């Protein structure tokens, strides 16, 4: 009788709203730190290999959480432990995110701060996901889970993200103050909007601690959970498929702007495109949950995987079509401009040379360079080295006008593709994660939710190790980041095949859960 009433209930309870608000709180980390702003800052400071180091840093963080997830999950299932571990993880993420802003003169320390903050973020999400079974019923899980992602997109991502972009545009993207603000706002927003969760959400399903409870018992529980997953064929097929397709989802989130930065796409344009992703994702997350209820979660997930496969194809072509023109231009720029001026000693002339090199995608490069010259005094403009810089730059443009124009055209085309990808990702990003979470939550024992979600998380986190590692390794091996994106298509295809071939077992498992 209580279950039926809960299923018909339309309004969210205080516990459900408080749980949903944590997505509002922590989603700014996923946007500013993992996806949009901080990766571009890090790559610009770390240099040409910045996206490679970013990939390795992401792999290290997710690997550590993946190793710890089953152990943390088993401990959290005991009475009173889930809330304590959640709070500790959240505070680690908040503190080390703030630390990043304090060490922005050293990219190595920034990378360490990012790794530690991401460990805290990922661990808190493990406990947050498992609290879903404590705050709502099976009938409402799809709705509550999807609203979590939706509120994360429209609030946690969009509002502070827009504020960060506004500060960056007003003060200039290269402004240290603006860059630090875009990081500090993450810590403040995350901490403040976690308060409702800390106040109202409690663990209701748990295992009682007994005098026999020990480390050995915890590991026996882990082994028992692993055995239960392997013995339930439908559940096992789902987590294996999840391992592959969520790898692609997480990797696309982590490397999209770093990939675009390496290709020379405009930073502000990429960030605005990702803002479109957040706006589109909010209604689509809720819509996706409704679709899952009508056609089953398995079919909805298959549709999302197909769309992500198309996104990878677009991403690969975006880089593949641009990289030859980029390489041709940069080779010419080095040989006929920067190396020709490598012996400069005058500080103004060196600054002007570097300013000229920045304008390789600008159709009005000569006018931009002249504007830089106009800022100098008459005596500085008349110096032999200054005249040499301007003359060499003008000669370079004249000699390589065809190469420059082809590169500019390729950059414009790839920017359009990046915007198309951003829109496509917005239609499925929240939905595929929300339905995967609620689908799994309905299939497991509630009192052992942390243990099962620990294994669910380990599949997701090890996937997040593999994806960035594949992107970084294949990109470094081939010298073309587009081939790293191509590797992600394989991950989605494996997940798709398992979800399609496992129809009988997965549908039977979902049916038994509904009964």
Answer yes or no: is 362 within a domain: no
Answer yes or no: is 334 within a domain: no
Answer yes or no: is 21 within a domain: yes
Answer yes or no: is 482 within a domain: yes
pTM attached to this predicted model: 0.70
Instruction: Give the tokens for residue 178.
Output: 């603006």
pLDDT attached to residue 4: 41
Answer yes or no: is 279 within a domain: yes
- Confirm if 275 and 158 have CB atoms less than 8 A apart: yes
Range of the domain at 245: 12-203+221-324+407-514
Q: For the segment 57-101, what is each residue's pLDDT rounded down to a tens digit?
A: 887 887 888 778 777 777 777 777 888 999 999 999 999 999 999
Answer yes or no: is 396 within a domain: no
pLDDT band for position 451 (cuts 50, 70, 90): low
Q: Using CB atoms within 10 Å of the CB of residue 227, give its burial: 0 to 12 exposed, 13 to 18 middle, 19+ buried.
A: exposed
Answer yes or no: is 124 within a domain: yes
Q: For the segment 253-280, what is each residue's pLDDT rounded down to a tens digit?
A: 777 777 777 776 766 677 777 778 878 8
The C-alpha atoms of residue 136 and residue 204 are separated, in whole angstroms, by 11
Answer yes or no: is 467 within a domain: yes
Is the pLDDT confidence value at 6 over 50?
no
Q: For the segment 455-485, what is each residue's pLDDT rounded down to a tens digit?
A: 676 666 555 667 878 888 888 888 888 888 8
Other beta carbons less than 10 A from residue 91's beta carbon: 15
* Domain count for the chain: 1
CATH of residue 414's domain is: 1.20.1250.20
The C-alpha atoms of residue 347 and residue 319 are separated, in whole angstroms, by 36
Helix axes 38-46, 233-262, angle to 10 degrees: 50
The C-alpha atoms of residue 189 and residue 318 are separated, in whole angstroms, by 34
The C-alpha atoms of residue 65 and residue 377 are separated, in whole angstroms, by 56
Question: Which of the two residues, 287 and 114, has the higher pLDDT score?
Answer: 114
Q: Identify the three-state secondary structure at position 354.
A: helix
Q: Of 158, 183, 162, 181, nearest to 171 (Cα)?
A: 181
- Confirm if 255 and 54 have CB atoms less than 8 A apart: yes
């Amino acid at each position: 009788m209580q279950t039926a009433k809960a299923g018909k209930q339309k309004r969210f309870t205080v516990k459900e709203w408080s749980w949903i608000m944590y997505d509002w709180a922590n989603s700014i980390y996923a946007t500013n730190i993992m996806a949009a702003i901080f990766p571009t800052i890090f790559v610009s400071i770390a240099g040409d290999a910045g996206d490679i180091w970013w990939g390795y840093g992401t792999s290290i963080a997710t690997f550590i959480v993946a190793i710890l997830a089953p152990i943390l999950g088993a401990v959290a299932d005991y009475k009173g432990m889930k809330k304590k571990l959640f709070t500790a993880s959240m505070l680690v993420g908040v503190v080390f995110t703030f630390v990043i802003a304090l060490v922005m003169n050293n990219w190595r320390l920034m990378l360490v701060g990012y790794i530690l903050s991401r460990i805290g973020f990922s661990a808190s999400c493990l406990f947050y996901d498992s609290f879903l079974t404590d705050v709502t019923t099976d009938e409402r899980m799809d709705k509550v889970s999807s609203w979590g992602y939706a509120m994360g997109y429209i609030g946690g991502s969009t509002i502070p993200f827009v504020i960060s972009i506004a500060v960056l545009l007003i003060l200039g993207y290269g402004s240290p103050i603006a860059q630090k603000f875009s990081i500090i706002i993450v810590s403040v927003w995350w901490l403040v909007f976690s308060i409702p969760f800390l106040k109202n959400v409690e663990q209701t399903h748990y295992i009682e601690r007994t005098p026999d409870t020990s480390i050995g018992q915890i590991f026996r529980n882990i082994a028992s959970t692993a055995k239960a997953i392997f013995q339930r064929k439908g559940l096992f097929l789902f987590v294996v498929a999840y391992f592959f397709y969520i790898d692609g989802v997480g990797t696309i989130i982590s490397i999209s702007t770093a990939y675009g930065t390496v290709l020379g796409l405009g930073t502000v344009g990429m960030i605005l495109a990702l803002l479109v992703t957040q706006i589109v994702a909010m209604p689509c997350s809720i819509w996706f949950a409704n679709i899952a209820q009508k056609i089953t979660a398995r079919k909805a997930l298959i549709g999302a995987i197909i769309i992500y496969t198309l996104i990878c194809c677009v991403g690969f072509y975006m880089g593949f079509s641009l990289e030859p023109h980029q390489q041709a231009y940069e080779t010419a720029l080095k040989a006929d401009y920067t190396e020709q001026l490598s012996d400069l000693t005058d500080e103004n002339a060196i600054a002007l040379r570097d300013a000229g090199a920045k304008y390789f995608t600008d159709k009005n490069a000569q006018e931009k360079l002249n504007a830089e010259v106009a800022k100098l005094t008459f005596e500085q403009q008349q110096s032999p080295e200054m005249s040499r810089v301007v003359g060499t730059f003008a000669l370079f443009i004249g000699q390589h006008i065809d190469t420059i124009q082809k590169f500019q055209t390729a950059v414009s085309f790839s920017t359009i593709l990046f915007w198309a990808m951003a829109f496509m990702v917005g239609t499925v990003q929240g939905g595929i994660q929300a339905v995967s979470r609620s689908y799994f939550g309905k299939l497991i024992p509630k009192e052992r939710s942390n243990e099962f979600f620990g294994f669910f998380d380990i599949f997701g986190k090890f996937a997040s190790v593999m994806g960035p590692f594949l992107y970084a390794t294949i990109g470094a091996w081939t010298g073309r980041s587009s081939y790293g994106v191509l590797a992600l298509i394989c991950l989605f295809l494996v997940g798709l095949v398992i979800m399609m071939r496992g129809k009988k077992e997965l549908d039977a498992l979902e049916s038994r859960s509904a009964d």
